Structure formats: structure tokens, C-alpha cells
Amino acid sequence: MIIIDKLCYYSKLRYHNPYIKTAWAIMALIVTVSTRSVTLSVLILAAMSYLTVIKGGTNLRRYCHFMAIPFAFLFLSSFAIAANLSKTPLSVLSLPIGSWYLTASFSGLYLVLQLILTALASVSCLYFLTLSTPMPDILMVLKKVRCPYLIIEMMMLIYRFIFVLLDIAYQLRISQICRLGNKDKKTSWKALGELMAILLVRAMKRANEMYDAMESRCYNGVISVLEETNTATKKEITLLVIFSLCLIAAALCCAYLGI
């Protein structure tokens, strides 16, 4: 099982109403992206991290590891936004390169900070949903909001086939290790290429077998799965309304103050 999927099923928020959790995450995501406020991004990042780690029970070290992946990408890509070439030096950074200067301004650094915090807050919203709501529940929510069924079916099949591919790759890798397929660097690269080639063939074969199994069970273009009904409590609905009002109030205050 994928580690994110495992954490999701062990989450303390696992059996809470999926519609409440989805609405919670989507509203926070929309407010974060639409306002791009530094203050609001920090508040949403802290709130979603609190819900995921403290309320959901996700390991803090593992959560920080997940957040470090987009942060590393944002940190490295932010240099292209903050730094530029200019013939006149600026106050923050001015490194001479011949007759030019590698410069950075306060406005550029603020833009980088705004970009990083907005992206991290958005990712925290998605992590909250991913680490507390299983994939079948998310698909159930999409079905209720009238998402095209073709998209839902493709998501379901792709999600299922991820585990099929991982299982095939694991079996092939164990087989190669037992035959000393990784005794040195050259052999390891050769074994990796052979694994990828065999994986493609095995995956196509397994896909055909899955389709035959679905046909034998009277598949008519609709995949029916059991849905768990977790009714939203009054407390959850009240908290969602309060959270929505606080988000709107915070967004208006940040827009008015320009922060």
C-alpha cells in the first residue's frame, strides 16, 4: 500500500463526513489562491497543518517530509523570479558580472515569499484532504457534485492500476535481487532496464485480465462500489460554517489592509 494511502486509512479523521472535509479543503484552497495574501496563507497553512497532524494523527516528521518536497521545488525555482540582470546595482543584492549586476529587489523577494507561502498553503489544503479522506470517498463526492462519470471511472481505474503496477514491480525486483541482479552498478542499470521492459508487458497482460474479469461480472460501463455513509453531525456543520465565515472575514481584512 502507498504510504499516503496507509496514513489516510489510519487517520483519526477517516470516518468523518467526506463532504465536510472536501468543502473545508476546497474553500480554503480557493481563498488562498484568489487572495494570495501572505498573512492569510500563513494562517491557512497553520490551520491545515494543525488539522492534519494534531487532529488527524499524522506523524509530524512524515508530514514535514511531504511538505519539504514542494518547498524544495519552490525554493530552487524562486531564484529565477527574485534575481535578474541589470546595469544598475540594487540595494538587496548586487553581484558584479562584468559590466552587469546580478540583482534582487525588495519587491522581487516579497513576490517570492508570496509565491512560496501561497503554494505551500494550497498544498497543505490538498494534503489535509488526501491524508484524511480515502479515494473511494473522494470519488463519491465527485459523483454527488455531478462530475462527468468518464472522469470518475478513469480516476478509479488509474488508482487501482497503481497498486497493480507496484505489485508487479516489487515481484520482479525481488526476483532480480535473488539472482544477484544488483551486484554492481552496471548490472543494476541493466536489471532496471529489463525490469521496465518486462513491467510494460506484464502490465498490458494484467490490464487485459482485469477487463476480462470486469466483463465476466456484467460490466456495462459503470463501476459500482460500496459507499460508506458517514452522516455529518451538527457540530461538523457548525464548525464548517464558522470556518467559512472566518475565512471570508480574514480575506476581506487582508484585502483592506493590503497584507
In terms of Cβ atoms closer than 10 Å to its own Cβ (0-12, 13-18, 19+), residue 231 is exposed
- Rounded to whole angstroms, the Cα distance separating 33 from 41 reads 9
CA quadruple 70, 71, 76, 81: dihedral sign: positive
Torsion of CA 36, 42, 47, 49, to 10 degrees: 110
pLDDT at 87: 67
Residue 1 in this model has a pLDDT that exceeds 70? no
Confidence of residue 58 (pLDDT cuts 50, 70, 90): confident
Alpha carbons 198 and 65: distance in angstroms, whole number:
32
Q: Which residue has the higher pLDDT, 227 or 124?
A: 124
Q: Which three cell numbers stand for residue 186?
A: 552496471
CB-hemisphere CA count at 13 Å for 138?
19
Note the pLDDT of residue 85: 66
Once rounded to an integer, what is the mean pLDDT over residues 234-240?
Answer: 84
**Mind listing the pLDDT tens digit for each residue in 74-130?**
888 777 777 776 666 666 666 667 677 667 677 777 788 888 889 999 999 989 998
70: buried, middle or exposed (CB in 10 Å: 19+, 13-18, 0-12)? middle
CA separation for the pair 12, 151 (Å, rounded): 29
Burial of residue 208 (number of CB atoms within 10 Å: 0-12, 13-18, 19+)? exposed
Cell of 121: 498553503
Q: What is the pLDDT of residue 56?
A: 87
Q: How far apart are CA 118 and CA 29, in angstroms?
A: 9
Q: Please give the share of the chain, as a percent, with pLDDT higher than 90.
A: 5
Q: Is residue 152's pLDDT more than 80?
A: yes
Q: Please report the pLDDT score of residue 134 as a whole number.
A: 85
- With CA atoms as reference, report the closest residue to 176 among 161, 196, 202: 196
Question: What pLDDT shows up at residue 93?
Answer: 66
- Alpha carbon distances (Å) from 185 to 174, 189, 195: 17, 6, 15
**pLDDT tens sequence across 170-186:** 888 888 788 777 777 77
pLDDT at 257 over 80: no
What mean pLDDT is predicted for residues 46-65?
89
The pLDDT value recorded for residue 189 is: 82
Q: What pLDDT is stored for residue 89 in this prediction?
A: 66
